[in-house]
Amino acid sequence: MKDIYSNPLSERYPSKQMLYLFSSQNKFTTWRKLWVALAEAEQELGLPISDIQISELKAYVDDINFEVAKQKEKEVRHDVMSHVYAYGVQCPNAKGIIHLGATSCYVGDNTDLIIMYDGLRLVKDKLINIIAFLSDFAMKYKDLPTLAYTHFQAAQPTTVGKRATLWINDLLLDIADIDHLLKDYRLLGSKGTTGTQASFLELFDGDHQKCRKLDELIAQKMGFSACVDVSGQTYSRKIDSKIINVLAGIAQSAHKFSNDIRLLQHLKEIEEPFESEQIGSSAMAYKRNPMRCERMAGLANYLLSNTLNPAITVSTQWLERTLDDSANRRLSLAEGFLTCDSILELYLNVSANLVVYPKMIEKHLVDELPFMASENILMHAVKKGGDRQVLHEAIRRHSQAAGKRVKEEGLNNDLLSRILNDPVFDLDQVDLEQIMDVNKFVGRAPEQTVEFINEVIKPILRTYEDVLGMVGDIKI
């Protein structure tokens, strides 16, 4: 048999944990757990369902007879009814009460919500671990001065550690978005064909309170606090859109980080990890291409574009239910989570193994700092009795000459020697060295880093210390 196409999102990039969440085994096991929860709730509310029937259902929750379901689906063209049939084959005593009163979205929608809930928790755990790695990095390099950039033009210096706090802060915003989703996360429950629970009202002989209690019991049995208040047959697809948008927010943060590292790698200041046998280019053997960060960026672009899928889906639903969402959701929801997970696996790996080159960082500072120090030099010379306007003109003239030397002749920046040799400044070498102390140019960057890590990040890491210890798994 010839090879057929395989999706890179299952073959190359995601973790085993996320792959399992969206696996057929997990999906259909969750369907069966929901059928057990429904039967138990209906029994508790007075329907004639026996303990023997429920025990039989529980015995086969994890033992999915996939081939039976697959063959039945070819006949009936309905995935839920195929699995109702397959479950009934294994549970002959209970087959008559499986899916009693429910519609397909009872298992379909509730399972999607459960899987995405578990996916969000896994994503959050990975964000916590990335923050832990970046926090260690920030504290290690909190005092290492480096050029900062605006418009990718050299600007007032910061520190390497302070720059890392910007990456961390973006991830904190993403965690806040996840927490907002999880705080009031609800299942669909069992709302019936058009969301009216008419079938259950019939089963419970017109008892409205039992219909309400049914949703409460299903939520509790599945580990949730509540079900949505109202719905059609499906839960509002706006929930899908909100969730994928949060994942896209993570993609934004990761993309920004990957861009920064790629720029810094070009400057030879900071690099992503590069293994001893890794090949950077098929043509240029010397190259150390930032393939991890480039892959992060590419996957982030894909996830950002995926936000359009649930947005279109929710916009085009008809009244209480239409099925044109189904095929799209099978792809877009799973791929949204698998893509986000793939990005975070890379982010874990890179953030834990960043390589810093302090000498290159210092070299770039030395090249640019004289221009940035010109105002400090001017103020120092004025304090010594110099004429501010005369000094300003002298610095302007010397700066232009030094800049021309650098840009047109490719020579070193000699602005400081020009100033030192100009008697109008009345400066000696000692004066100049004191003015040029780079630590005077980074402002509160070291203190801001320490304050942010100690006051904001460490309490969070202590709260979630049980999830720490993850390592990014780069398969290829």
> Which of these, 371, 395, 372, 391, lies nearest to 383 by C-alpha position?
391
What is the C-alpha to C-alpha distance for residues 175 and 185, in angstroms, rounded to an integer?
Answer: 15
In this structure, what token pair is assigned to residue 276? 């001893």
Q: Residue 99 catalytic?
A: no
Burial 353-388 (b: 16+ CB within 10 A, else e): bbebeeeebbebbeebbbbbbbeebbebbeeeebee
Residue 151 annotated in active site? yes
Question: 24, 50, 55, 281: which one is catalytic?
Answer: 281
CA distance 373 to 399: 11
Question: Do 360 and 267 contact (CB within 8 A), yes or no?
Answer: yes
> Which three-class secondary structure string do you get for the chain?
CCCCCCCHHHHCCCCHHHHHHCCHHHHHHHHHHHHHHHHHHHHHCCCCCCHHHHHHHHHCCCCCCHHHHHHHHHHHCCHHHHHHHHHHHHCCCCCCCCCCCCCHHHHHHHHHHHHHHHHHHHHHHHHHHHHHHHHHHHHHCCCCEEEEEECCEEEEEEEHHHHHHHHHHHHHHHHHHHHHHHHCCCECCCCCCCCCCHHHHHHCCCCHHHHHHHHHHHHHHCCCCCECCCCCCCCCCHHHHHHHHHHHHHHHHHHHHHHHHHHHHHCCCEECCCCCCCCCCCCCCCCCCCHHHHHHHHHHHHHHHHCHHHHHHHHCCCCCCCHHHHHHHHHHHHHHHHHHHHHHHHHHHHHHCCEECHHHHHHHHHHHHHHHCHHHHHHHHHHCCCCHHHHHHHHHHHHHHHHHHHHHHCCCCCHHHHHHCCCCCCCCHHHHHHHCCHHHCCCCHHHHHHHHHHHHHHHHHHHCHHHCCCCCCCCC
φ and ψ at residue 46, rounded to 5 degrees: 105, 0
Report the residue count for the chain: 476
Residues with active-site annotation: 151, 281
